[in-house]
Amino acid sequence: GIPEFRLPKSIVQKEVDGLKALGVTIATDTVVGRTISIDELMEEQGFEAVFIGSGAGLPMFMDIPGVNYRGVYSANEFLTRINLMKAYLPDSDTPIQKPRKVAVVGGGNVAMDAARCAKRLGAEVYIVYRRGMEELPARKEEVEHAEEEGIIFKTLCNPVEIFADENDDVNKIRCIQMELGEPDASGRRRPIEKPGSEFDLDVDCVIMSLGTSPNPLIKSTTKGLEINKKGGIIVNEDGLTSRESVYAGGDAVTGAATVILAMGAGKTAAKAIDEQLSK
C-alpha cells in the first residue's frame, strides 16, 4: 500500500524480479497461520529454517462513538485499497469511496501518506493531531510536502465523536481543543483537553492513522513462540526466536518502524540462518 510518490512500483517489481532470478519461489494467496502453519512448513514440507517478516498490520482505532460508521477507514486499508487494489478506478471490483472532505487522525508518516492520497482523489483534507506542529512524529520533509500540497493541519485537537446521516454514512467529526501539559512517560508533553472547546468538522471520511501492531495470528498458531507485551516477537541479536530454527525481524519484532530497519533485520537473520545450515 505504499504510495507511488514515496516508492515507485517499478522499483519494487525490479526487486521482486531479482529474487525470482536467483531462484526464489514466491507462494501467493498463502496466509501463514490459516492456510498453512509454521510447524507444517518445517515438519511436513521439510524447511530447515523459517524467517517471519510478517510486519505489523493490525490497525488501532480510537475508542470513541461512531468508529463503525461507513466512511471510517484505517490508514492501512485506505492505502492498500488505493495503491495496491486500484480501488479508485471506475471498474474496480472493490471500489473505494470518493471522499469530498477527509479527516486523517494522527501525525506520523503513514498519516501523511493517507492525507496525500486522499488529496489526489480530489478531497479537501485535514490532519487532526492532538499535539502541536513541533511534536508531529512524521519526518519534517513529509510534513512540508503535505503542506505544499494543501493539506490543512488541525493540531492541538483530538476527536471525541464521529457522526453520520440516516444511512450511517459519516457526515462530521467532533473534536476538542487540547493544550500541552507536563511531559509523560514518552518524554513528550502530555495533551490535556480544554473543557468546553469542542468544534465540528464537516467530513464524509475519517482515516485513523494511530499506529499498528503485529497481527496475533502467527503467534496464536505457533506453539512456543514468545512475544512481548506489545505483541512483537522476541528475538536475540541474530533474529532467532524462542523456537529452534525460527527467526524473525522487521515490524513483526519491533512494531511499526522503517523499511531500512526491516531490511537490516532480514540480512542479519539471513547470515545467521546460513551459518546454522552450513554447520
Q: pLDDT of 12-36, one tens digit each?
A: 999 999 999 999 999 999 999 999 9
Q: How many residues does the chain have?
A: 279
Question: Does 247 or 189 have the greater pLDDT score?
Answer: 247
Do 273 and 51 meet the contact criterion of CB atoms below 8 Å apart?
Answer: yes
pLDDT at residue number 178? 96
pLDDT at residue number 30? 93
Mean pLDDT value of segment 28-46: 94
Residue 186 has pLDDT above 90, yes or no: no
Residue 257 has pLDDT above 90, yes or no: no
Do 57 and 215 meet the contact criterion of CB atoms below 8 Å apart?
Answer: yes
Closest CA to 218 of 46, 38, 27: 38
Closest CA to 103 of 123, 84, 121: 123
Looking at the DSSP bridge assignments, the partners of residue 227 are: 233
Give percent above pLDDT 90 in the chain: 82
How many other CB atoms sit within 10 Å of the CB of residue 152?
Answer: 15
Q: Report the predicted TM-score, pTM, of the whole model to 2 decimal places.
A: 0.87
pLDDT at residue number 183? 86
Residue 128 has pLDDT above 90, yes or no: yes
Q: Which domains does the chain have, with CATH numbers?
A: 59-211 (3.50.50.60)
Do 162 and 72 meet the contact criterion of CB atoms below 8 Å apart?
Answer: yes
The H or E element containing residue 208 is: strand 205-208
- Rounded distance, CA 81 to CA 90, Å? 13
Question: Does 52 or 213 have the greater pLDDT score?
Answer: 52
Longest dimension (CA), the chain: 68
Do 136 and 129 meet the contact criterion of CB atoms below 8 Å apart?
Answer: yes
Task: Work out the pLDDT band at 215, boundaries 50, 70, 90.
Answer: confident
pLDDT tens, position by position, 54-108: 999 889 999 999 999 999 999 999 999 999 899 989 899 888 888 999 999 999 9
Mean pLDDT value of segment 173-180: 96
pLDDT at residue number 253? 95
Do 225 and 75 meet the contact criterion of CB atoms below 8 Å apart?
Answer: no
DSSP helix/strand/coil, 205: strand
Burial (0-12, 13-18, 19+ Cβ within 10 Å), 2? middle
- Rounded distance, CA 252 to CA 214, Å? 5
Closest CA to 231 of 212, 208, 247: 212
Backbone angles phi, psi at 115, to 5 degrees: -60, -45
Task: Work out the pLDDT band at 47, boundaries 50, 70, 90.
Answer: very high
Task: Work out the pLDDT band at 184, boundaries 50, 70, 90.
Answer: confident
The contacts of residue 90 (CB under 8 Å, 6+ apart) are none
Mean pLDDT value of segment 220-226: 93
Strand-strand pairing, 212-213 and 58-59: antiparallel
Which range of 123-127, 187-191, 257-261 scores highest in mean pLDDT? It is: 123-127
